[in-house]
A and B are shown apart, each in its own frame.
Chain A
Amino acid sequence: MQIFNIVIAGVGGQGVLMASKVLAESALANGLDVKQNEVHGMAQRGGSVISFVRIGKQVLSPAVLPNCADILISFEPLAALRYLHYLKPGGILVYNTVTINPSTVASGLATYPPDVEARIAGACGSARGFDALSIAQNAGDARAVNMVMVGSVMKYLPLDRQVIEEVVRSLSKGKGVEVNLSALQGGAAV
């Protein structure tokens, strides 16, 4: 099989790393090789976060090159636009439509582009945006946006859905098990 490249983009604190972990563990549980990589350190301080998950028979480099991602999962609209160049021609883009102001916007130094969604649609006709926050809140916790986003791309991945669900179950604790599985299903139903 060809290497399947996933890029996950978002904002520090949104759970991009947890989503990446779910996908990486699921790949391993599916008997595939996987490399997962992100740059953290300052990620929790509200900065941009980008994570790579590469799945295949044998994966060498941990990095996804621009124009090579099969899927771009973005937890925030501006992040989708910022990392759109990672998507290969014909690749799949799903994104959360709920915006988070960058500090530059919050402090009045810049404005949040009013036409982000139109620009995403212009650059990627098949892009699909939806309100992942509402789905997460319905599932019981606003912080489950990451599981909603994973759920929304399950059908495109070379991974079994049951395996992903098992991994989510094993990585969640207490009440989180139910919330995360419900968020995953909510995302899958989009």
Chain B
Amino acid sequence: MKKIISGNEAIALSFGDSGGVFASGYPGTPSTEVLEEVGRLGVVYCEWAPNEKVGLEAAIGASIAGGRALATMKHVGVNVAADALMSFTYTGVNAGLILMVSDDPGQHSSQNEQDSRNYAKFAKVPMLDPADSQEAYDFVRAGFELSELFDTPVMLRTTTRTAHAKGCVEQREKIEPQVGEWIKDVPKNVMLPNFGKIKHVQVEARLLKLKEYAETTPLNRVEMGDTALGILTSGVSYQHAKEAYPNASILKLGLVHPLPEKMIREFAGKVERFMIVEEMDAIFEEQIRAMGIRVDIGKNKISYCLEVDAGIIRAAAGEVAPDPGMAPIGDLPQRPPTFCPGCAHRGLFSILSKLKVFVAGDIGCYTLGALPPMSAMHTCICMGASISSAHGMAKVNAVAGRTEKPVAVLGDSTFFHSGMTGLVNLIYNDGNALVIVMDNRTTGMTGGQENPGSGNVLQGGAAKQVDIAAMARVMGAEHVVEINSYNLQEAEAAIKKGLETPGPYVLVDKNPCILRYRVKQPIVTVDPDKCTGCRACLKAACVALGLESAGDKPKVTVNPNICNGCGVCSQLCKFDAMSEAQ
């Protein structure tokens, strides 16, 4: 029976159907639903790791112990996991291992637009690039076979459109998991230089064998059609290319590293115009040009940035659209994502905005604090960079004689991911920053996943709850204070004290994510006789608020369908016109 499922769900389903034994990973759009779905299906053991490196390392252990293993992450997660990947490619696997990575061309929900195909080349491992949910399902099984056949980790790469798009999937026959032997094989698994040198030779030999395999595997196929135009492509770009030119000849790559040189040379030789359609980097094109093969259309016509679609492919092939049609209407107010009504981050950022301090930010919902009207976050580099970069700022400020103390803001999940090493550094190297951990007991931005502080594991059972304040104290922080940022006055006083006290100062704001934990208070109401229309409450940047013209001056209104009753707006009101929070 066919099901309509996303690429992410298909990968999870196939992992259970393909003898999978262990899965780990860290949430990150658009990859998150793979592990969530493995958990929901309940067939295979799975867990959230505090970061991608730990997730991959746990999966490596599972492979060494003889179980087929999966590690999931988004593209930037591979940067974190790369240390493990670059050595594990030398040792190779015992049971099959797949590193599933989701790229985000178009940067729908990411801090950059990096192309993970670079990592396959860098780590000299095979990479599969499915074009739809069915292939996502099939390539998991193929990936395990490839991994065990060639003694290598395999990367399975999706992009936002293959990860999130839903299509029909036919399930295959289930392979029962078989756990192999747990063997002490020192020359294989201990990467001391003398063993590593031997393994490197084997990795190069493996790559040559994989190149041969790429020529004949059904993962790559030629669909010969009209020879006026021949398109080499992979992933979702194949769908767009086929839609743009249903009759053209297509070389569709499922195995995108290493490339089948003979197959490409032969294909390019048969077509009048040879076109390469790939999103982001010129990975195919650079390698194919280095083979001495003529490329007519590629990155000279298709951007390194954003996604590809059928319209872009037609334009790149030189087609002029007969009628461009209606253009997007430009002069509309933007609707950026924002803090949910009732979100605990709102109070904190309205205080930081008022105090005009320099805030080194991090990755999570709270990054939205950088947007107007809060405008209270001034850097966001990568997971965990808040504390470590604030430390560097403070050191330079000391040299320059600047007295302002930087503030680092990060969430609980980001703290566990890589913020805690920054805190160790801050304490060890006699730093001077105010650290605020927004502990909302979930990994919020990706939809509310469990983490070491949430009290539950991925598959639902209760877990030890790691206490961030206690951790900070054990690390040696002398000032660790728990605050409640829904109380603006008290929280502001605590922040000011932290700014005035020299040295590391840690505040932990423990308020649960209202979206995940469905917290709701009685809604706020406005007394129109007292409201002067001063707009002070609008600084809360809450979508429940609005202005309504009543007589000569617009007054504030609260949308009762949206208000969560957190009371931040009523604390900002100077005229006592809004009902108090409960």
Q: Which residues of A approach B to under 8 Å, CB–CB? A: 11-12, 21, 24-25, 28, 33-48, 59-63, 65-67, 78-79, 81-82, 84-85, 87-89, 100-113, 119, 123, 133, 142
Contacts and interface: CB of A to CB of B under 8 A. Distances in A.
B328 interface: yes
B334 A110 contact: yes
B447 A81 contact: no
B535 A108 contact: yes
Interface stretch (B163-171, B401-409, B420-428, B460-468): B163-171
The bracket for how many chain B residues form the interface is 35 or more
A45 B243 CA distance: 33
Given A63-B240, A106-B543, A108-B373, 12 more contacts: A36-B167, A38-B164, A45-B339, A46-B337, A60-B242, A62-B236, A81-B329, A85-B329, A101-B543, A104-B333, A105-B333, A133-B561
B580 interface: no
B346 to A, nearest CB: 11
Contacts of B562: 100
B446 A85 contact: no
Given A34-B168, A40-B164, A62 B545 contact: no
Contacts of B326: 66-67, 84-85, 87, 123
B160 A108 contact: no
B148 interface: no
Contacts of A107: 372-373, 538-542, 545
Contacts of B29: 40-42
B546 to A, nearest CB: 5
Contacts of B316: none
Contacts of A21: 166
Q: Which 7 A-B pairs have the closest CB atoms?
A: A41-B109, A67-B325, A47-B337, A41-B29, A45-B337, A110-B333, A62-B165
A103 B310 contact: no
Contacts of B165: 35-37, 62
B340 A45 contact: yes
Nearest to B447: A44
B543 A103 contact: yes
A37 B161 contact: yes
Contacts, number: 178
A174 B329 CA distance: 42
Contacts of B543: 46, 100-103, 106
User: Which of A84, A85, A108, A109 has the most B CB atoms < 10 Å from its CB?
Assistant: A108
Nearest to A44: B515
A86 to B, nearest CB: 9
A170 to B, nearest CB: 13
B397 to A, nearest CB: 31
Given A61-B243, A66-B326, A109-B372, A78 B332 contact: yes
A42 to B, nearest CB: 4
Interface in B329-385: 329, 332-340, 365, 368, 371-373
B4 A25 contact: yes
Contact of B545 (A39, A65, A78, A106): A106
Contact of A42 (B109, B332, B515): B109
B220 interface: no
A65 B334 contact: no
Contact of B332 (A88, A108, A113): A113
B329 A82 contact: yes
User: Which of B242, B328, B515, B544 has the most A CB atoms < 10 Å from its CB?
Assistant: B328
Interface string B224-244: 000000000000100110110
B311 interface: yes
B340 A46 contact: yes
A50 to B, nearest CB: 11
User: Which of A35, A61, A82, A88 has the most B CB atoms < 10 Å from its CB?
Assistant: A61
B166 A102 contact: no
